[in-house]
Structure 1
Amino acid sequence: MKTQAYLVTGASAGIGAAIARALLEAGRQVVNIDYRLPADPPAGLVSFQADLTDQARTEAVARQVTEAYDIVGLVNNAGATRPGTADTASMADLDYVVNLHLRTALILTQAVLPSMRAAGFGRIVNMASRAALGKPERVVYSATKAGLIGMTRTLAMELGGDGITVNAIGPGPIATDLFMKSNPEGAPQTQRIINSIVVKRLGTPEDVARAAMFFLAPENGFVTGQVLYVCGGTTLGVAPV
């Protein structure tokens, strides 16, 4: 009999790593798929290396994971920004984020459905973004994150009868290593971002992980098809009521 596990993509660092740690602390078996292996993995984390923009490799690693584990929780977290405007965004940028955010989410969802249906239980969390509501210089990124919200809502409708919930999280500015590399502490642009946030601080990966743990909890089976913005209030006046 295979071990039940939770699959988190992009769990080698940042938000994904925080979600993986929270799940491990809750006693769950956690599997990570990322383009690079974690430098200092927490005890119990099982990692598979894969470029999730490569369809064949994504499908192959999905088979490896599902042959070894019964996946009952999936967090489609891996992502990339690919900044660009209407004038500068390239088709290569668009292809990259569509493949990473949308195609990978669908491949992995389809791969884990048999184990979730067999268990009569499943939790899927898709990592969207506050940018899905619109953000300058993020034309391809925001489009795919909005698409992920649409996918979330449709999957929730299709899978609810199987005991599977599907929800999305829309992080705002989160102080990951990648974010801080572009927005160093004390830099004027970083302070401008902080000033625009209602709670006057950047979010942390752990802020997002706590939201993910709510959606992943077995007892939260009556919440599905929803988007939770973990954004410090930056969606106020923008997101629909």
Structure 2
Amino acid sequence: MTKKVLITGGNKGIGLEVAKIFVKLEYEIYVVGRDFNEFELGGLPNVTEIEADLTNLDNISEIVKTVGDIDILINNAGFMQPHISYDKYTSQERENMMNVNLYAPVELMNEFSVGMKKQKCGRIVNVASIAGQIGHPDVWYGIAKAGLINATKIYAKLLGGDGIVVNCIAPSPVETDMQKSNSKERIEEFKKTVVTHRFARASEIARTIVWLAIGSPEYINGTCIDINNGAYPR
């Protein structure tokens, strides 16, 4: 039976690179994204596009209904707003940030773990960030990602007894469209902190995600893997 994977934010960036790998592995792939105008994998028979905005948590029930039970959940969707000062967030901007980066991943774990429990197996990979570990100028992005790291540890304990493995990654900045919202000065400052003086490539992050989703031992559970090229060694 073909295995099913759902990837949020799989229409571009890191998520797209993850989807490309699963295409080669012949998985049944469900991609959640806000728009698919330039989606590279559009039209492939084993790829289903689900247009949904995760700033609205009410969309999650429709996603679950459309997809059904899955084997792998990749909570990849995320965004930051570094142009907003820490004390200038509106309540709506804060809600949108927390919904996409933390609350939606938690709700998706709640919903899809039901089917995984019945199957007595499943893998969940959450995409957090170095921003949740070291403090971040985009305060609510950092808070959300710190919460996602903690949620990973909680759900590994809650679900591990049912054969479900839950891990996350914490990459430093990655060469994706997300960097367009960063200032040139901030980009250059970060590059000075890493050994190779460059951002991570989306493909490097994707390979780590897929390894956690299908290749890592089940004893690696509740772990956050740092991917930062020496920017935050610990």
Tell me the TM-score normalised to structure 1 length: 0.88
Q: Using a 3 Å threshold, how does the CA distance of structure 1 residues 198 and 218 change in structure 2: closer, same or farther? A: closer
The alignment partner of 1:89 has SS state of coil
1:35-184 paired onto structure 2 within 5 Å: 35-37=34-36, 39-42=38-41, 43=44, 44-66=46-68, 70-83=69-82, 84-179=84-179, 181-182=180-181
In the alignment, is the contact (CA less than 8 A) between 2:2 and 2:27 conserved in 1? no
**Structure 2 length-normalised TM:** 0.90
From the superposition, tell whether residues 204 and 219 of structure 1 become closer, same or farther in structure 2 (CA, over 3 Å).
closer
Amino acid at match of 1:29: E
Determine the C-alpha separation between the residues in 2 that align with 1:38 and 1:207: 25
The alignment yields a C-alpha RMSD, in angstroms, of: 2.0
Instruction: After superposing the two structures, state which structure 1 stretch, 95-104 or 138-147, moved more.
Output: 95-104
- Following the alignment from structure 1 to structure 2, what is the Cα–Cα distance between the partners of residues 136 and 152? 20
Unaligned runs of 5+ in 2: none
Output one character per residue of 1:122-155: Cα deviation in whole Å (capped at 9) or x when no partner: 1001111000023342111100100111110000
Q: Secondary structure, in 3 states, of the residue corresponding to 1:105? A: helix
Percentage of matched positions with identical amino acids = 28
State whether structure 2 residue 208 is matched by structure 1 residue 211.
yes
Match runs of 1:4-23 below 5 Å: 4-23=3-22
On the 8 A contact 1:199/1:233 being kept in 2, the answer is: no
SS in 1 for 2:38: coil
Give me the whole-angstrom Cα distance separating, in 2, the residues matched to 1:50 and 1:152: 23
Structure 1 counterpart of 2:25: 26
**What is the distance in 2 between the residues matched to 1:188 and 1:56?**
38
- Distance in 2 (CA, whole Å) between partners of 1:85 and 1:183 is 13
Alignment coverage as a number of residue pairs: 230
* Contact kept in structure 1, 2:126 and 2:152, CA below 8 Å: yes
Change (3 A) 1:182 1:144: closer
Inter-CA distance 38–207: structure 2 relative to 1 (3 Å threshold): farther
